[in-house]
Structure 1
């Protein structure tokens, strides 16, 4: 039986974030609902990353350093595979 979980974070400053786990793989989803670029402090998402130090943004393939603050463009969404 597959174990699926979803963890939500309380939205702050127009940033919505949740992590979903399915079959041992975790994805962090970050949504910026504002019209300006936002910097998200890593303490905001650290507890959702399961101690992962980096991830890969699925659309661009870019490596994301999860030990640093994350910049999310205006109206941008990111799906980061941990």
Structure 2
């Protein structure tokens, strides 16, 4: 059985690394903050990575994330969102 997997990256901006993994129609958005300060990621920056999704779930906490809003990423942390 063949599984189609894709990974799409965005150019890092202000210490934020953003990429998305897609497998069998499911997408995970991964945001890494490499700075010592809390950062806000504009929804316009990742909109193309999450396709038509408007809501996701943060893997670690289970809380719902509105993908039409900006995402706040704590200093030196990562956020993984299942779309």
Tell me the TM-score normalised to structure 1 length.
0.96
> What is the aligned partner in structure 1 of residue 49 from structure 2?
48
Instruction: Count how many residue pairs are aligned between Structure 1 and Structure 2.
Output: 82
Q: Does 1:3 align with 2:4?
A: yes
Q: Using the alignment, how far apart are the partners of 1:64 and 1:76 within structure 2? A: 17
Alignment of 1:1-80 (within 5 A): 1-80=2-81
Structure 1 segments unaligned to the other structure (5+ residues):
none
Tell me the TM-score normalised to structure 2 length.
0.95
| Cα shift readout 1:7-31 (whole Å, capped 9, x = no counterpart) | 0000000000100011221100000
TM-aligned CA deviation for residue 35 of structure 1:
0.4
- Report the aligned-residue RMSD: 0.6
Give SS of 1:6's match: strand
Structure 2 segments unaligned to the other structure (5+ residues):
none
Over 6 Å off, 4+ runs: none
Whose strand proportion is higher, 1 or 2? 1
